[in-house]
Chain A
Amino acid sequence: MADLYQLSAASLDALFTALQGDGRRILAPTDRDGRSELNPVHSAGEVAQDYIQTSLSAKETVFPKVEQLLSYDLAPGRVELAGATPRAEPTVVFGIRPCEAGGFQALDAVFNWDSRDAFFNARMANLAVIGIGCTRKDDACFCTSVGGGPGDTKGSDILLTPNPGGYLAEVLTDKGRAIQALAPELFAPAEAAGKAALLVDVPAAFDQPALTAGLPALFDGPLWDEQALRCIGCGACAFVCPTCVCFDIQEEADKQSGRRLRSWDSCGSSQFTLHASGHNPRATQGARWRQRVYHKFSYYPDRYGQLGCVGCGKCTRACPVDMNLKEHLVEASQATVEP
């Protein structure tokens, strides 16, 4: 059970000062050219006021776009190999939405279900999340269809809910309590008073358990090809997704030295599964779109007992050909119940 506090709007700046005094970097949404993105901030005044979501996701804090896994020096008959150490500076992500905060669990499921990924884990250990619940939404949002909600606490160490006095603060984890301990005077005890009424209402758009149960029977149907007709396979959806974890490993090298890099990849790319022989197990864009949907809504539940989607809608907002994940899932849900 979370400890409840009232945090005044004016005290945020003091909280930021305390966090930086503890040696932590603060990343928060800031506005630039009409978009909100996570950037380093030093004072509360720099934080964007009027955002629904950042365009990119916070996964980059624990799973960078490109990161070095190892490096080497080459000489005739000799290789000097060195493993990389992740740069995992203590970081607080401030102001991301509950949907996105929940995405870290989906990443963790993949990175640690079997062998443990030291790069991801080093960054996760150094990350704390102060989420802010949602008072606004847009047409892309569907958190409540995938088990989340505008005030969901999953993945946040502290969750703030805007209220007339500033914020209702739920201190949820040991990491959250450690932040509170940096400036305990800012956190005034509060009563659990009508949190839901402070948040936006997001009606569920589809029945996710029924969709997940119905997907295997839809596998060979025409729906996926139809929905993917306009997909250009650009991968923007995967790159902005808080849970998309598929990656590539590439070499950057010359004759004397090199390094091995991990970078984001997308199952929507035609090259993702392409064999050197020319054979491609997912040869059409429809098959690749189906993989995206099934991975998140069928294979993840099968394998990890959770979804690979948090309903944030970032993919929909980023899609250059206006594919709308919520609408496509509603359509798939309808197909599962049709005879």
Chain B
Amino acid sequence: MSEPNIYLPHLMRIAAITEEAPGVRTFRLEFVDEAAAQAFSFRTGQFGLYSAFGDGESTFCIASSPTRKGYIECTFREVGRVTAGLADKEVGDIVGFRGPYGNIFPIEDWKGKNLLFITGGIALPPLRSAIWNCLDLRDRFGDITIVYGARTVNDLVYKAELKEWAERPDVNLVLTVDPGGDTPEWTGKVGFVPPVVEQLAPSPVNTIALVCGPPIMIKLTMPILNKLGFAPENIYTTLENRMKCGVGKCGRCNTGSSYVCKDGPVYTLAQLGQLPAEY
């Protein structure tokens, strides 16, 4: 076979595991093969297919920032066969990774802009890559606002990083939990993400909005941004359609004539408006 096998993953060693929330873990992964590590690069917004050998492959974003070299991170909730297989792994174990795949958040184009991140639950990981990418290049951007909600206080992921962002004077972090999800110690907001955004009323002037969350959060947040005056070209989201190949062949992520794995996963709201709402 003269052409390379595009379905063959890299072997990755689990360098660290962080328990983020009930059922949610972050793996820090390092290439087993030094040459593969040297050849690898990615940009924020891209994703990969992660193998639990014995169970299969699943698609997640690369949740770490490309400014942090030598490793990638993924964050996943244990929910199906592959994520259960991954959850069984320990530090030092080997998993597989194919990627990076897909397009990027065009942060080069956002110099001097204010950035508004809106996210919920387990959808923070793809934006976390962009957040750290932008924070590591902090002087290139204007105000950075992060609105993040979860069902309960315990379900918030990256708790240590949320604390760090809350303490940074150059980040405006707004945390919220669903009604009933708060604890006596909770000092953040109580309420769903869309009304919290509405109440916050961020200015659309010179601002890029990045929205990633469960479908219902996205559905209810978009009209609010629209009402606030955000142009569809300035609202970005990242889709997570089911995928098998990741390279534009298996047909699973097709949304209209767009392959989420190739033309996405990052789309502007203007671009999504051209596609059937099959995501």
Q: Of residues 14 to 33 in B, which have CB atoms within 8 Å of A's CB atoms?
A: none
Which of A20-28, A47-55, A72-80, A189-197 is the contact stretch? Answer: A72-80
In this assembly, does A275 line the interface, its C-beta being within 8 Å of a C-beta of chain B? yes
Known: A249-B250, A303-B257. A279 touches B215 (CB 8 A): yes
A259–B137 CA distance with the chains assembled, in angstroms: 43
Give a binary string over B27-43; 1 marks a CB under 8 Å from any A CB, 0 the rest.
00000000000000000
In this assembly, does A42 line the interface, its C-beta being within 8 Å of a C-beta of chain B? no
A79–B56 CA distance with the chains assembled, in angstroms: 14
Q: Is the CB of B250 within 8 A of A247?
A: yes
Q: Is the CB of A247 within 8 A of B249?
A: yes
Would you give the shortest CB distance from A306 to chain B, in whole angstroms? 13
Would you give the shortest CB distance from A120 to chain B, in whole angstroms? 9
Known: A114-B248, A291-B254. A253 touches B5 (CB 8 A): no
Known: A79-B11, A247-B249, A251-B55. A276 touches B5 (CB 8 A): no
A294–B251 CA distance with the chains assembled, in angstroms: 13
Q: Is the CB of B7 within 8 A of A69?
A: yes
Chain A residues, Cβ within 8 Å of B186: none
In this assembly, does B54 line the interface, its C-beta being within 8 Å of a C-beta of chain A? yes
Would you give the shortest CB distance from A109 to chain B, in whole angstroms? 10
CB within 8 Å: A-B pair count: 129
Residue of A nearest to B49 (CB): A249
A272–B11 CA distance with the chains assembled, in angstroms: 28
In this assembly, does B200 line the interface, its C-beta being within 8 Å of a C-beta of chain A? no
Q: Is the CB of A254 within 8 A of B54?
A: yes
Q: Of residues 276 to 306 in A, which have CB atoms within 8 Å of B's CB atoms?
A: 276-277, 279, 281-282, 287, 291, 294-295, 298-299, 302-303
Known: A248-B250, A303-B257. A85 touches B55 (CB 8 A): no
A250–B94 CA distance with the chains assembled, in angstroms: 19
Among B2, B240, B248, B249, max chain A CB count under 10 A is at B249
Q: Is the CB of A118 within 8 A of B5?
A: yes
Q: Is the CB of A253 within 8 A of B54?
A: yes
A70–B244 CA distance with the chains assembled, in angstroms: 15
Contact-size category for B:
35 or more
In this assembly, does B1 line the interface, its C-beta being within 8 Å of a C-beta of chain A? yes
In this assembly, does A320 line the interface, its C-beta being within 8 Å of a C-beta of chain B? no
Q: Is the CB of B252 within 8 A of A81?
A: no
Q: Is the CB of A72 within 8 A of B241?
A: no
Known: A84-B5, A118-B5, A281-B241. A255 touches B249 (CB 8 A): no
Q: Is the CB of A115 within 8 A of B248?
A: yes
Would you give the shortest CB distance from B120 to chain A, in whole angstroms? 13
Q: Is the CB of A245 within 8 A of B262?
A: no
Would you give the shortest CB distance from B23 to chain A, in whole angstroms? 12
Give a binary string over B223-253; 1 marks a CB under 8 Å from any A CB, 0 the rest.
0000000000000000011101101111110
Give a binary string over B74-98; 1 marks a CB under 8 Å from any A CB, 0 the rest.
0000011001000000001110100
Q: Is the CB of B6 within 8 A of A250?
A: no
Q: Is the CB of A258 within 8 A of B53?
A: yes
Choice from B7, B79, B80 contacting A260 with Cβ under 8 Å: B7
Would you give the shortest CB distance from B41 to chain A, in whole angstroms? 17
In this assembly, does A86 line the interface, its C-beta being within 8 Å of a C-beta of chain B? yes
Residue of B nearest to A303 (CB): B257
In this assembly, does B256 line the interface, its C-beta being within 8 Å of a C-beta of chain A? yes
Would you give the shortest CB distance from B89 to chain A, in whole angstroms? 10
Q: Is the CB of A253 within 8 A of B55?
A: yes
Choice from A69, A251, A287 contacting B278 with Cβ under 8 Å: A287
Known: A72-B53, A115-B247, A247-B251. A275 touches B242 (CB 8 A): yes
Chain A residues in the interface with B (C-beta under 8 A)? 69-70, 72, 74, 77-79, 81, 83-86, 110-111, 113-119, 121-122, 219, 245-251, 253-255, 258, 260, 262, 265, 267, 272-277, 279, 281-282, 287, 291, 294-295, 298-299, 302-303
* 17 A-B residue pairs with CB within 8 Å: A77-B92, A79-B94, A79-B96, A81-B96, A111-B249, A117-B3, A117-B249, A245-B249, A247-B244, A248-B250, A249-B244, A262-B7, A273-B242, A276-B80, A281-B278, A291-B254, A299-B257
* Known pairs A81-B8, A251-B56 / 7 extra A-B pairs, C-beta < 8 Å: A249-B245, A253-B54, A273-B242, A275-B242, A276-B79, A295-B254, A299-B254
Chain B residues in the interface with A (C-beta under 8 A)? 1-9, 11, 53-57, 79-80, 83, 92-94, 96, 214-215, 240-242, 244-245, 247-252, 254-257, 262, 276, 278-279
Closest 8 CB pairs of A and B: A246-B251, A118-B3, A302-B257, A299-B257, A83-B5, A251-B56, A69-B7, A276-B80
